[in-house]
Amino acid sequence: MIAAVIFDLFGTVVEIQNRQNPYRKLLRLGAQQGRAVSQGDVCWIMTHNVGLREAADSLGISLSSRDLAELQDALELELQSIRVFDDAWPAIELLRASGMRIGVCSNLAGPYCRAVRRLLPGLDAYALSAECGAMKPDPVIYRSVCTMLGVEAGRLLDPEQRRVFMVGDSRKCDEHGPRVCGIMGVHLDRSGTRRFSDLVEFSKSISS
């Protein structure tokens, strides 16, 4: 029996139609100031629920009023361009009709959390890295979403176990990472080269 399904967000349930990459631009400004960019910078941004100004201050990047205004404009353009894929709500409703609880688990910076909650209201769990303080594929975030859902991930192949599925477009974060925690990770490839290229197709396969 399947107790819950967890969805990745960007590239899976929602997409950005007008990419502006404001946080990448912020780090580029830091590099222009002689500050070396590291992978730790991305992790910090993704695990702290702050805006651009707070991120710049914490990372030691100086912003003029003009710099901040340009970054904020870029961020707003990107946030306003986020849309839900056409197959997302039909897939969610199909799973709900089968009695499954629905959550999302995603790596994203603070300002995107509010946008996602607005576009996808009423789900059973929102494990968002900026709010949880942990990023996929850290097991902490997968365990957090299971706790929010009120389910326990366990032995993947035990037919008596109430199983938990996760689906997303990253093999590392949405297929392999969840499996370490006993969640059945499934890779979604919208290009059509893998088994699942559509969320409704995926939902039908596990709810039938």
Inter-residue contact 10 to 119 (CB < 8 Å): no
> Three-class SS of residue 24?
helix
How confident is the model over 16-69, as pLDDT tens digits?
Answer: 999 999 999 999 999 999 999 898 999 999 999 999 999 999 999 999 999 999
Cβ-contact 12, 174 below 8 angstroms: yes
How many CB atoms lie under 10 A from the CB of residue 1? 10
Alpha-carbon distance of 72 to 66, in angstroms, equals 10
Closest Cα partner for 130 from 190, 54, 34, 44?
A: 44
- Report which residue type is found at 181: C
Q: Tell me the pTM.
A: 0.94
Mean pLDDT of 100-118: 97
Domain ranges of the chain: 2-15+83-207, 22-80
pLDDT in tens, 58-80: 999 999 999 999 999 999 999 99
CB-neighbour burial class of residue 112 (10 A; exposed 0-12, middle 13-18, buried 19+)? buried
138-173 tens-digit pLDDT? 999 999 999 999 998 775 545 555 789 999 999 999
What pLDDT is attached to residue 11? 96
Q: Count CB atoms within 10 A of the CB of residue 205.
A: 11
Please give the CATH number for the structural domain made up of 2-15+83-207. Answer: 3.40.50.1000
